[in-house]
């Protein structure tokens, strides 16, 4: 089986991991071989001691995290792996339709209330602004502020 | 939605209609009007292979809705088909109006244009009788008890495809001179005429033939892109518009069930046409419907497509016939009515024949019905704006509209607009004056009270007062004195204050009864980018004299708020109407706060009658002395009022009351010990009550107060770390960076169930795409 060993810096939850400078070797999985968590016995080398990620060829055809490494007899290393479903099925995932609840690419708060966003409703800033006009005035000197209602009649 | 080819045949087999040499030469088959293919195609008089009966449309089921390339909105009369009962019609006299038995009320109506060769057969009478199975008649039966085989209109073939840009509807009008049954110009086509809508409206035609009984459209198409358009097909064939939805009337227990079919609206023997407004259903003549079999006269019903501006009436009954028609009289709303009705079909259309024949699609007299979510609501563009419509570049009439899943339509128009208005000046027995403190200068009002002193000492003071002040007590001629810190309360020309019949010569202006004052608009801008944080803003509107109101940020954010004051100057009550402009441009008043912006200034004086009684035993000369002194007291009071010039109104109140005390002191100082008044309180009377007007000392401008939350985050870092909350359904590839998502459809690729569960779990917990 062909294995390509990488040293990946990406976080585990990155879908498209940056794979560069891989070293391809041949190895046999430890039987029985679980497709999700296979183990391999590999001759010790700088590549395998420093690597943390494996892309397995057929028949596994999957990407794996190296979760554990043990030195065993014969200057060999027992490498325990766990499938990286995100990168293995990256294209399928990206072509799938789903409902996104949080997104970095949205770029800004939306109309959906976000309880995690540091917004302090108990620390408020108060501003006030006046409307342009009012029917009232305190300039009584310039006003005619009285309304006198009388009983009307003919002038004498 | 594409036409259901399982029912109407493969699109590759749809037939050009009619099959003639001109159209067979057109290379692009999509340029043609095409009809369903049921097999056994023959160019003319074809038989239809589909359905329960070979060669006919299945009469037991409605036509499949997939034929509808758009929906007709509630603005179309096809959404409001009117049902009339023949039994109701028969006993009426010729010309009598008849009201519908039932009216449909669909928000969307799916439809199809229909053609038919067989329907061009001999005559348009109801030759098939009630059990007609081959004619174009479609009937409904307004009685649930008798079963009729009424869905028999199978002679028309559905139009499955046409090209918007080669299907120009010309609006035409059928009209007549009069409606009087005894008149030679009685409603009938022999005395009628046929015009294009443009000619009918813009010539004397609408004066000569003011009664319209049919509005219809003729499709104009070209068979050669270099040739002018012509009515298509140019033949004597049947035509109509099918309604593909079950009738609303099917839910009426008084109607036979089920009730569905399509309609056939005859308009002319010469040109194909689709009736927009008029009588539908087969039988009858161009302007009416008729049934001649005796049973049909009483048992069958009529259908009409027309707005409420039209009137249904009994056309005539002669021999074995009974006929019904609809009409409307021309007025200046007619053109709009026709244009709106045709626009609902979403096609290019015009009212001018020259435009139909050779007009460019962007000609100013070429119109295009606009579709909203695939539904025509009667709106349209014209001229160059037509090029902005999708129909302009569409290859066919397939708009993507799905008649089986139409958009939610709210039939309400939401044209309501709220407003305030003035009220007419009340005619009362009182006079109201707007007086400035300056004009009511010290020394003017006291003249009034001096006038009382001029009375003949031998004359009854009550009589004197009634003569000059119209009241037994002079003070009673003052109804009220109010202080209002309101601008511009006067109207009209300057006058003088009159107390009863006495002209004080004090300058004043008549006072308005009410004031409407627009305080202007204030636009509420979203501070945080118009997102949920802005909705956490608390908005309070302070309204002078009316308190405060809270404004819902979800309603007002991003909108201009308006405050208008409505002030009743007769009582001093005021209302502040808070409004905004809704999305449809209409003003909506959302809050009305009430308050009082006036204070009654109490005016005190002597109760003359009581005083007269108390002074009954006194000599007239001494009495007069006291009365005159009493009015000196009044003079003091009014002096207090007039001295308000520029002072605090609250001080004015205390000043007036103090003047009352002065009045008492004056009397107390009189040397009138010979009268038994030492223990008699002077009978003072107060006009009005003392009120408070501290509101006048507060802010007098409407003021909007914002209380906003504070934030503390870096958008870039926050977004990368945890993402912004949202709820968007799309392919995940359209997102990038940190993403949390749920309910992802992972059926598009092969992975084990365990792996897909792992993927779902990872996506729900957050990944970087």
- pLDDT, residue B654, reads 40
- pLDDT, residue B370, reads 96
- Provide the chain A residues 90-119 that lie in CB contact (below 8 A) with chain B: 91-114, 116-119
B45-49, B355-359, B698-702 — which is least confidently predicted?
B45-49
Residues constituting chain A: 156
Tell me what the mean pLDDT of segment B106-111 comes to.
92
Q: Which residue has the higher pLDDT, B11 or B352?
A: B352
- pLDDT, residue B117, reads 57
Q: CA torsion sign, B210 to B212 to B213 to B219?
A: positive
Query: Are B739 and B767 in contact, with CB atoms under 8 Å apart?
Result: yes
- pLDDT, residue B56, reads 46
ipTM of predicted assembly, 2 dp: 0.92
Mapping DSSP to helix (H, G, I), strand (E, B) and coil, where does residue B294 land? helix
DSSP structural state of residue B652: H
Q: Which residue has the higher pLDDT, B642 or B540?
A: B540
Residues of B in contact with A137 (CB under 8 A): 485-487, 700
pLDDT tens digit string along B568-615?
Answer: 998 889 999 999 988 888 899 999 999 999 888 776 555 545 555 554
CA distance A129 to B540: 11
- pLDDT, residue B193, reads 86
Our CA dihedral for B251, B253, B257, B262, rounded to 10 degrees, sits at -50
Q: Which helix (H) or strand (E) holds B656?
A: helix B649-669
Q: How far B586 CA lies from chain A's nearest CA (Å)? A: 21
- Provide the chain A residues 1-20 that lie in CB contact (below 8 A) with chain B: 10-11, 13-16
> Where residue B42 falls among pLDDT bands split at 50, 70, 90?
very low
Percent of chain A with pLDDT over 70: 96
Q: Give me the residue from A105, A125, A134 closest to B701, CB to CB.
A: A134
- pLDDT, residue B4, reads 86
- pLDDT, residue B453, reads 61
DSSP string of B97-135, one letter each residue? B---SEE---SEEEEEEEEESGGGSS-SS-TT-TT-SSS
Mean pLDDT (chain B) is 75
CA distance A112 to A136: 42
- pLDDT, residue B635, reads 47
- pLDDT, residue B610, reads 55
pLDDT tens digit string along B349-372?
Answer: 999 999 999 999 999 999 999 999
B526 touches chain A (CB under 8 A): no
Flag whether pLDDT at B709 surpasses 60: yes
From B434, B540, B485, B516, select the one nearest B698 (Cα to Cα).
Answer: B485
A154 touches chain B (CB under 8 A): yes
From B357, B378, B191, B171, select the one nearest B267 (Cα to Cα).
Answer: B171
B427 touches chain A (CB under 8 A): no
Q: How many secondary structure helices (H) and strands (E) does chain B include?
A: 17, 37
From B462, B28, B7, B459, select the one nearest B221 (Cα to Cα).
Answer: B28
Tell me what the mean pLDDT of segment B398-414 comes to.
84
Sequence-separated contacts (24+) of A65-72 with Cβ below 8 Å: A65/A12, A67/A37, A71/A44, A72/A41
Residues of B in contact with A150 (CB under 8 A): 430-433, 477-479, 497-500
Contact state of A109 with B725 under an 8 Å Cβ cutoff: yes
- Provide the chain A residues 115-144 that lie in CB contact (below 8 A) with chain B: 116-121, 123-138, 140-141, 143-144
CA distance B48 to B37: 8
Flag whether pLDDT at A19 surpasses 80: yes
- pLDDT, residue B677, reads 40
- pLDDT, residue B584, reads 80
pLDDT tens digit string along B464-486?
Answer: 777 777 777 777 778 888 888 99
Q: Which helix (H) or strand (E) holds B137?
A: none
- pLDDT, residue B242, reads 81
A23-27, A127-131, B145-149 — which is least confidently predicted?
B145-149
CA distance B208 to B414: 38
From B501, B503, B508, select the one nearest B447 (Cα to Cα).
Answer: B503
């Amino acid at each position: 089986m062909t294995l390509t060993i990488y040293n990946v810096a990406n976080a585990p939850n990155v879908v498209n991991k940056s794979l560069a400078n891989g070293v391809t070797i041949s190895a046999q999985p430890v039987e029985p071989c679980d497709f999700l968590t296979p183990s391999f016995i590999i001759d010790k080398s700088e590549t395998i001691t420093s690597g943390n990620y494996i892309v397995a060829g057929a028949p596994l055809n999957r990407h794996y995290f190296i979760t554990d490494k043990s030195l065993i007899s014969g200057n060999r290393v027992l490498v325990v792996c766990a499938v990286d479903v995100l990168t293995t099925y990256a294209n399928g995932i990206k072509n799938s339709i789903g409902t996104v609840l949080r997104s970095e690419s949205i770029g800004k708060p939306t109309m959906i209330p976000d309880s995690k966003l540091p917004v302090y409703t108990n620390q408020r800033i108060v501003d006030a602004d006046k409307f342009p006009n009012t029917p009232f005035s305190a300039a009584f000197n310039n006003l005619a502020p009285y309304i006198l209602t009388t009983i009307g009649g003919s002038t004498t | 939605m594409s036409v259901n080819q399982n029912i109407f045949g493969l699109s590759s087999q749809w037939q050009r209609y009619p099959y003639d040499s001109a159209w067979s030469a057109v290379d692009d088959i999509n340029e043609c009007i095409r009809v369903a293919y049921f097999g056994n195609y023959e160019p003319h008089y074809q038989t239809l292979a589909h359905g329960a009966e070979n060669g006919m449309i299945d009469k037991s089921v409605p036509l499949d809705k997939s034929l509808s390339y758009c929906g007709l909105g509630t603005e179309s009369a096809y959404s409001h088909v009117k049902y009339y009962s023949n039994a109701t019609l028969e006993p009426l006299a010729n010309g009598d109006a008849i009201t519908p038995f039932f009216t449909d009320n669909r928000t969307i109506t799916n439809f199809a244009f229909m053609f038919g060769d067989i329907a061009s057969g001999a005559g348009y009478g109801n030759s098939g009788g009630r059990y007609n199975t081959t004619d174009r008649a479609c009937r409904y039966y307004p009685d649930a008890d008798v079963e009729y085989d009424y869905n028999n209109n199978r002679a028309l073939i559905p139009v499955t495809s046409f090209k918007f840009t080669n299907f120009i509807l010309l609006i035409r009008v059928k009209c007549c001179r009069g409606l009087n049954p005894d008149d030679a110009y009685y409603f009938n086509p022999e005395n009628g005429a046929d015009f294009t809508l443009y000619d009918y409206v813009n010539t004397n035609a609408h004066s000569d033939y003011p009664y319209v009984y049919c509005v219809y459209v003729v499709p104009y198409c070209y068979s050669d892109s270099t040739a002018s358009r012509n009515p298509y097909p140019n033949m004597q064939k049947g035509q109509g518009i099918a309604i593909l939805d079950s009738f609303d009337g099917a839910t009426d227990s008084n109607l036979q069930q089920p009730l569905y079919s399509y309609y056939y609206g005859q308009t002319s023997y010469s040109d194909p046409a689709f009736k927009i407004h008029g009588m539908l259903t087969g039988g009858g003549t161009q302007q009416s419907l008729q049934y001649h079999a005796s049973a049909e006269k009483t048992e069958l019903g009529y259908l009409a497509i027309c707005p409420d501006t039209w009137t249904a009436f009994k056309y005539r009954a002669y021999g074995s016939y009974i006929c019904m028609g609809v009409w409307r009289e021309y007025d200046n709303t007619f053109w709009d009515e026709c244009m709106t009705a045709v626009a609902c079909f979403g096609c290019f259309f015009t009212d001018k024949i020259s435009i139909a024949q050779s007009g460019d699609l962007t000609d100013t007299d070429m119109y295009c019905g606009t579709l909203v979510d695939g539904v025509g609501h009667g709106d349209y563009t014209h001229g160059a704006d037509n090029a902005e419509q999708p129909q302009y570049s569409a290859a066919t009439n397939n708009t993507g509209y799905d008649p089986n899943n139409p958009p939610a339509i709210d039939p309400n128009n939401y044209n309501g607009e709220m407003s305030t208005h003035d009220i007419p000046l009340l005619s009362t027995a009182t006079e109201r004056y707007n007086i400035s403190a300056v004009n009511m200068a010290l020394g003017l009002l006291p003249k009034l009270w001096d006038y009382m002193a001029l009375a003949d000492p031998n004359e009854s003071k009550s009589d004197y007062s009634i003569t000059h002040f119209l009241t037994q007590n002079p003070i009673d001629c003052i109804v009220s004195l109010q202080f209002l810190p309101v601008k511009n309360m006067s109207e009209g020309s300057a006058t003088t204050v009159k107390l009863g019949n006495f002209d004080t010569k004090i300058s004043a202006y008549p006072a308005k009864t009410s004031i409407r004052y627009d305080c202007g608009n204030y636009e509420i801008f979203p501070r945080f980018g118009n997102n949920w944080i802005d909705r956490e803003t608390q908005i309070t509107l302070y309204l002078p004299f009316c308190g405060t109101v809270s404004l819902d940020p979800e309603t007002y954010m991003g909108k201009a708020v308006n405050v208008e004051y409505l002030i009743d100057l007769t009582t001093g009550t005021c209302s502040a109407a808070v409004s905004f402009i809704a999305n449809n441009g209409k003003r909506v008043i959302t809050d009305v706060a009430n308050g009082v912006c006036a204070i009654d200034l109490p005016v005190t004086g002597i109760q003359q009658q009581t005083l007269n009684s108390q002074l009954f035993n006194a000599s007239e000369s001494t009495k007069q002395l006291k009365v005159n002194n009493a009015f000196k007291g009044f003079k003091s009071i009014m002096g207090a009022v007039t001295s308000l010039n520029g002072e605090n109104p609250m001080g004015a109140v205390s000043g007036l009351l103090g003047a009352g005390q002065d009045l008492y002191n004056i009397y107390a100082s009189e040397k009138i010990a010979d009268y038994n008044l030492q223990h008699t309180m002077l009978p003072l009377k107060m006009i009005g009550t003392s009120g408070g007007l501290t509101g006048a000392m507060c802010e007098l401008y409407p003021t909007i107060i914002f209380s906003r939350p504070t934030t503390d985050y870096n958008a870039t870092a926050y977004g990368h770390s945890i993402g912004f909350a949202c709820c968007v359904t799309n392919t995940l590839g359209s997102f990038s960076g940190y993403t949390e998502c749920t309910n992802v459809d992972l059926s598009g690729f092969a992975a084990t169930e365990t792996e897909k569960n792992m993927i779902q779990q990872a996506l729900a917990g957050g990944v970087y795409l």
